[in-house]
Homo-oligomer: A and B are copies of this chain.
Amino acid sequence: MKKVLITGTVAFDEIETPAGSSGKVIGGAGTYISIASSLFTQNLAIVSIVGEDFPNKEIKYLNDRGINTEMIETVIGGKTFYWKGRYHENMISRDTLDTKLNVLEKFNPILNLDYSSSEIVLLGNLHPAVQLKVIKQTINPNKFIIMDTMNFWMENTLNELLSVVKKVNLIIINDEEAEQLTGEKNIYRAAEKILKTGPSKVIIKKGEHGSIYFDGKNNYLLPAFPVTSLIDPTGAGDSFAGGIAGLLSTKNKIGFEEIKEAMLYGTLTASFCVESFGIEGLRKLDRETLNRRLKIFKSYLT
């Protein structure tokens, strides 16, 4: 089992979708990713930051799932990162109603010795400068770095973002972001261009339309699982990435076959995520339930 290090936000979210409102719940890319990964491994840790207002019981919940939280810094007197958003009728586009960076503004990730040697490093959506700080503290020469990012960083911190992209093995990005990053409307051409900027593997997410993988030689086209009861898309991409990292951690090597299996599991993890508000879909999930859906999913693909 490969050791997995995750970085990403641990946050409070308030989410409104056409299906209802979540109220104030815990969220954040790091939370979704680590819970998703913990479906596959208990050899994982998250480096993040929260305020004093973050409930101990939620940290304990992460621990109970086998997630090492020693590197979640709690800022005394500080407040946890907060995001409030409303999804449009199409359940894809959304408006941010409120963002309070709070303690995230001063997040300076410090890895402990144990997890600095992680074989898999997943950089969740965060300021690229923070992602870079995490990379710089990793010491495993054979590490496999996965990066997720967002258009916000392309618009505001492109140079820093590109310096991170250069160092990663696998970049996970959505179709619009791939176009924005490369200027290419065609996602296959965009993927080719991205491969020239550093990563040897690229996954482009297409939301309800699935995802594609490209490494310059191998192609994999994977539809999304047919979700008929979409409640809240928040965390879908994070669950996808977390599922991928988690599944890969169970493998001896990370080649095309392993990536394909990981994408199947990532896709299904995300499908459960979006069927409930916030992290509730992931809370209810276990490997057995995932495997049942995997069997169904595979029957839809061949």
Chain A positions near chain B (C-beta within 8 angstroms):
89-91, 185-186, 188-189, 206, 209-210, 212, 219-223, 226-228, 230, 299-302
Contacts and interface: CB of A to CB of B under 8 A. Distances in A.
Contacts of A188: 226-228
Given A188-B228, A219-B300, A221-B226, A209 B212 contact: no
A286 to B, nearest CB: 24
A24 to B, nearest CB: 28
Oligomer copy total: 2
Contacts of A302: 301-302
A185 B208 CA distance: 12
Given A90-B185, A185-B90, A210 B223 contact: yes
A76 to B, nearest CB: 46
21 contacts: A90-B185, A186-B227, A186-B228, A186-B230, A188-B227, A188-B228, A189-B228, A206-B209, A209-B209, A210-B221, A210-B223, A212-B223, A212-B226, A219-B299, A219-B300, A220-B300, A221-B223, A221-B226, A221-B300, A222-B223, A301-B301
Given A209-B209, A222-B223, 10 more contacts: A89-B185, A188-B226, A188-B227, A189-B228, A206-B209, A209-B210, A212-B226, A219-B299, A221-B301, A301-B301
A90 B176 CA distance: 12
A222 B221 CA distance: 9
Contacts of A219: 226, 299-300
A50 to B, nearest CB: 36
Contact of A223 (B189, B223, B230): B223
Contacts of A209: 206, 209-210
A300 B301 CA distance: 12
Contacts of A212: 223, 226
Contacts of A89: 185
Nearest to A224: B221
A300 B217 CA distance: 11
